[in-house]
Amino acid sequence: MAATSIPIGQVVASLLLLAATAFLLTWLAGKIYRVGILSTGKRPTLREVGHWLRAA
């Protein structure tokens, strides 16, 4: 098995995609937390989470 170098553009694109995904998921989790937990104070059901995602 031969080792090859990875083009720098692919490394940069991968890191940018990783950072964007982490930011998006953190933002989405914050919206769900704010709408759900702080509003109702109880454990959410899967149906309620679906409603919150549509409302956010």
pLDDT tens column, 5-38: 989 999 999 999 999 999 999 998 888 788 777 7
Residue 36: inside a domain: yes
Q: If you write DSSP's letter for every residue of the chain in order, what string do you get?
A: ----PPPHHHHHHHHHHHHHHHHHHHHHHHHHHHHHHHHH-SPPPHHHHHHHHHH-
Residue 14: inside a domain: no
Domain that holds residue 38: 24-56
Those residues with Cβ within 8 angstroms of residue 16's Cβ, 6 or more apart along the chain or in another chain? none
* Confidence at residue 1, expressed as pLDDT on a 0 to 100 scale: 60
Residue 49: inside a domain: yes
pTM given for the model: 0.62
User: How many domains does one find in the chain?
Assistant: 1
C-beta separation of 32 from 49 below 8 A:
yes
Residue 2: inside a domain: no
Structure tokens of 44? 């959410």
